Structure 1
Amino acid sequence: MSQKDCLVENNNRTSSKGMCNPSGMNERVAVVGGGGYVGWHIVQRLLRNGHPVAIIDLGMMPEARKFVESRGAALPPITFFRVDIREKEELAQSFKIYRPQIVFHVASYGMSGREMLNKRLIEEVNIDGVKNSLAACADSNVERLVYTSSYNTCYGGQQILDGNEENTKFLPIYKHPDHYALTKSISEQLVLAANRKLSLDGKTILRTCSLRLPGIYGPGEQRHLPRIVKYLEKGWVCFRYGEGIVDFVHIDNVVEAHVLAGYALGPEKEHIAAGQAYFINDGKPINNFEFFRPLMEGLGHPFPKRQLPFNFILFIAVILENLYCLDFVTRYNLDRYFPLLTRTEVYKTGVTHYFSIGKATKELGYIPRDPPNDLSEVVRLFKAAGHARSLPPVINRSLVDHILSRFVFLLVALVCFLGLWGRLVF
């Protein structure tokens, strides 16, 4: 790791408050994946709480880098290590240099869109990266590790009503509909299995826990919301499907849960979170499309009234996934158009599945912000960025029907052709 890959800023002033900890202990914290949306918000909260923090990532959001390079002198030290977590030695070296006492492993890959189909990279980041992180924890005598997990470890398209950590188990490996969910399940189990393992010094005990999150939203979110706004502006959001009641979680709640979990792994709360998994959300399930209604209407787009069959949309998603994998798609640079939707995204938006936060409230002290499912600040920021329509669009319903019918015909024809071609070739 070269010197230019390690940016260090020092300051002797610290807050009187630790990780929600009145004892005044200011443990060194490393956030693996701290340069991304979730990780950076966790970093900011830790700094405000008085913790020296290391960001371990390949890069940082522009907002994060600007802050690190130009912030004032009122915060504790912040360090940036440019590290590829797939490289075991690089990650281990950053831990040995910084010697963190607490680690938040937030980094992941392949959550949505075309990234979901890159199986090799998903495995390298989500499984190998976690293994490397656990090994680095053991080498550097880390005391606590909080792993950012996903609902997908337990969900694979089945209906779940008010699930919890007791009545909802890890989904069997063969039932996961996508590689991201599969790898998150494997990596979470690795993290929980590492709980109470001795570090190399033979004295330090590593305590671990995981936080299972649904779709994350909030100001500045870059994965889902811009994609939805893009589809709105192209006029592609003209129908609904399914009747799914699902959970969402605001970024402020994500941060709060992580900080509370880090504290609950420590002696002040008698290590109550050690070896545990927790579902985290806003505490109020909602219909997926109704959740986005304020965004649609707030930006001047009509809420879709047309309802299409769930299985039809699932069929389209399967076709789009398979088209993305064909050679001619990449050969003619068409991969940027695929897939518009994946099977997992259809399951997660169209099938009811929501979970209780009772365990997190009882053991971590987690209480969601009020009001839940609030997109008002998100709408304001998109408007400020020029995404509001001045007039509602006029939709030619007959044209929409014509396009849909033609699309279905072409899909069916393509499936028949590919099936015939497969028989002739193979």
Structure 2
Amino acid sequence: MVLRECDRDGCCYPAARGFGSCMLCSKHWCFKHAEFEDHQCPSEESDPDVYFAAYTVAKKSHLSALLDKINIEALRPVASDARNGVKCWIPAFDANNDPAFRVDLASEQSGGQNCHLDIEFEDGVVWIVLLSFEDPLLPPASAQRHIFLSEVATLKFLAQTSVPIPRVHSYQLEYPDNPVGTSYVLMSKLEGSPLDWNEASPQQRIKVMEQLADIFLELEKYPIWLMGSPIPSDFLDNEIKVGGFVREPWFETPERGLGHFSTLEAAYIAIINWHLQAFDGREIAKLPVDNYLSFKWRVIDWEFASFEAKDLAFSSPCMMWPVEDFYDGKPNLSDDEIEFAWIFNGRDRLDLAGLVLEGRKWQRYLFFLGGGVPSDKTELEALFQCLRKCFGDDDDNISSYEEWKEAALKLYRDDAILDSLIRDERAKA
């Protein structure tokens, strides 16, 4: 089973994850047909100006289709009933009947996977309704339902803590008995502005880091001993269970994500083995030989590694990483990360400060496992070489990438999957 099949009639290959999905034509192509005459959409590489203009139009078209599904006459009473009959209106629909106005307003309150529309009550209270996007770059509808429920479960779990989060008042999946017409979540709207870390002043960054430290210390009080994603309980509204992972790279099929697992070691070994199978089936198809070899290395290297989930959960958030240095394969920490560690030092939590300072190697490890399979050879070499340095015994004297690859090809010369990938790569060249 795979996440999607290729849309080319008669093709036996799965759609390639990532580059095989096209926003412009809404189709999904395998590693062969994504770049052949079957798929003639402009690409970012061949004609970026035409591509991004068409991408913007297609993105708005998908958002417009989602908004057209909403039965606004049903959504208003659903929200009103959740507030004991207080009347409400929805500006995106009620302030202007122009569909273009509606799409533009929704776009302003959109993220990567969801859009949020304000619901204003006559007593001045404001909620938002969360709606999940439906476009070809996102997981299939079945997987989206699992992601949706996990987001709800996460918010309900956090509601038990002192972490400031929006309260979930009502939600419903898209089913025939859902009068609104699509999946939705009604939740409180928190006051504030979106965080722009790069534009924040040093004083603003420190304020945010102090708040993050508060959140870390609060979440530490609620350990979870299983590896997976939160899912709602079938019985109790406030009870949270742990199910399979709902991150797109870790869905085996539209209905099933990897997991759950009782240990982090079991989770990572399963994730690595799944990637190896995906390379074999051509579901992951960028730089297949190099990426396959790098994942084989990670299986062996895992035998010498040991750490706990807390090492990753309490490492620095990616917004603090020195992004350019990270992609160049440099292991250094940013000034923000060092400041974040000092904040924990100042609270007499040297253990958490240590996790921030020592977290880069595991962040790099998870970066690959979490969907960061590189498609650019230069980027892959830099990232992989740094990963080797992080886990090597002699950081300054590791072999070059080409030397390592030559040795790996010899080591795995009897590997049937590798042999098949090499033959495909030669045929394409």
Confirm or deny a common fold (TM above 0.5).
no
- TM-score by length of structure 2 reads 0.28
TM-score (norm 1): 0.28
Which one has the bigger strand percentage? 1
